[in-house]
Structure 1
């Protein structure tokens, strides 16, 4: 190993480390509205997916909980009649080391949900299939864009709260 001018070995950059300690469904709801009130004519589903993310520190050490909240609504294109509604909160417990504090928030809300997403996709597919519909395979989610969007919304909300009412 090469030594630097002081005779010490050069410092290797410390790489961020993430370990999934656990993952679980925190809340799951599926409502098959089509089964209660059938629709006349052809059904052309229009799927809307809303995603929200939340992360927080857990107790001592570098453990964090990240929750991905999915709200999936399927409506009939012609009539806007709701076919089904699926709500899923999927949580992951993570041990995160060597991430600077200023990068921790984006790391929690981008990298952690990205690790959990394949499991969420499978759950959504299984639940919609078991609920009487074709399996819904969610498209990939750009968690970087989602993070930036949520950050912009939070900044707008804070700016609106600071603006005095006329």
Structure 2
């Protein structure tokens, strides 16, 4: 009997994935305008580096999860590598997720949920850089699938090193 049939042989409707955003919020936000504090000498040509980290955890309520996106945006002068600004943002969403198979839940939480949050993160980063005295920074899209795959490879390599050391 296939997964899509019940005991009578009648086809069952597969349950569709349900995702609902209950809330989203800034957990932590920091912006340092180093140029204003220390002053800039000569020509300024910014080099911007963006680091992204993700975290997800189960909440006490049924089917509720908190997903946290962590962005570190650092701008340095290309000429002398002097810091221009540093922005750190932790942005979280609370999601109700139903009908996702257990083996697919982890990637769902760390790929699909951050995709839903990203437009809000982009807006906050743009507003903060503008309000901080710089041109608004419009973050490029983040490929959360590629980020997830990179993390899986990194963890596999770390496990190999642990086993080799044991």
**TM-score normalised by the chain length of structure 1:** 0.92
* Segment of structure 1 superposing worse, 155-164 or 11-20: 155-164
**CA offset at residue 62 of structure 1?**
0.5
- Partners of 1:62 and 1:35 in 2: CA distance: 46
CA root-mean-square deviation:
1.5
Aligned to 1:52: 53
**CA offset at residue 158 of structure 1?**
2.1
1:49-128 equivalences under 5 Å are 49-128=50-129
Q: Kindly provide the CA deviation profile for residues 105-138 of structure 1, in whole angstroms up to 9, marking residues without a partner as x.
A: 0000000000000000000000000000000000
Aligned to 1:32: 33
| Runs of 4+ residues over 3 Å off in structure 1 | 6-9
The alignment covers a number of residue pairs equal to 161
Aligned to 1:132: 133
Q: Kindly provide the CA deviation profile for residues 14-59 of structure 1, in whole angstroms up to 9, marking residues without a partner as x.
A: 1111000000000000000000111221111000000000111101
Secondary structure, counterpart of 2:148 in structure 1: helix
**CA offset at residue 60 of structure 1?**
3.2
**TM-score normalised by the chain length of structure 2:** 0.92
Aligned to 2:160: 159
| Structure 1 unmatched ranges of 5 or more | none
